[in-house]
Chain A
Amino acid sequence: NAGVMQNPRHLVRRRGQEARLRCSPMKGHSHVYWYRQLPEEGLKFMVYLQKENIIDESGMPKERFSAEFPKEGPSILRIQQVVRGDSAAYFCASSPTSGPTYEQYFGPGTRLTVT
């Protein structure tokens, strides 16, 4: 059973370009979470999605960031018009269900560098 897959692993964008980060959850998992890790910091929650639904986006910046988890295909985190401050590691996690006893399984992350 493959784990959570993220691609690309490394992404370099110039200021003003768009970044698209992909996350394929573990087989059988329908809940996806995105986190951002700035240098020397812990992970910060961004958004929680189920298939075709955004459940909690309280951690998403109000502008330029969006996320989706379509019925078919991976979850996508999109950052429009990237700025230097968006440089970070972005982690995706998935779980089979929600609730207090679930475990989130993390992907290897996408490291975004904005030049």
Chain B
Amino acid sequence: AQSVTQPDIHITVSEGASLELRCNYSYGATPYLFWYVQSPGQGLQLLLKYFSGDTLVQGIKGFEAEFKRSQSSFNLRKPSVHWSDAAEYFCAVLGDKLIFGTGTRLQVFP
């Protein structure tokens, strides 16, 4: 069965620091992977997606993610975090339906 694990419930970083949010998936076939961001009280916005091809995917707002099949991971990265990046981040895998992880809440300190 498909599943997504985000091991970090809450992460705090300083503004300007680098960021990596972890995501591990379980899926039998080639996965279609997504990262979404949710600001408080808002819906979800797609940051980036991986379907095939280059394993390093560029997204909006300066985010990127790398698909590593051997590790069943799709970690999200940003070289320099801005205060406006504070939000909840969800990794998702698409099989017969979209399955979300439980999310990682990012706090950014000035």
Contact = CB atoms under 8 A, between A and B. Distances in A.
A18 interface: no
B19 interface: no
A63 interface: no
Contacts, number: 46
B44 A106 contact: yes
B32 interface: yes
Nearest to B31: A100
A48 interface: yes
A44 B96 contact: no
Contacts of A109: 42-43
Q: Is the interface of B mostly helix, strand, loop or mixed?
A: strand
B51 A43 contact: no
A107 B44 CA distance: 7
B98 A103 contact: no
Interface string B69-85: 00000000000000000
Interface residues of B, number: 21
Contacts of B44: 43, 91, 93, 106
B90 A42 contact: yes
A42 B98 contact: no
Contact of B102 (A35, A42, A59, A103): A42
A108 interface: yes
B57 interface: no
A103 B49 contact: yes
Contacts of B99: 45
B43 A106 contact: yes
B13 interface: no
For the complex of A and B, 3 pairs with smallest distance between CB atoms: A42-B100, A106-B43, A106-B44
29 contacts: A33-B98, A35-B100, A40-B102, A41-B102, A41-B103, A42-B90, A42-B100, A42-B102, A43-B44, A43-B100, A44-B100, A45-B97, A45-B99, A48-B97, A56-B96, A56-B97, A58-B97, A59-B97, A91-B44, A93-B44, A100-B51, A104-B98, A106-B43, A106-B44, A106-B45, A107-B43, A108-B43, A109-B42, A109-B43
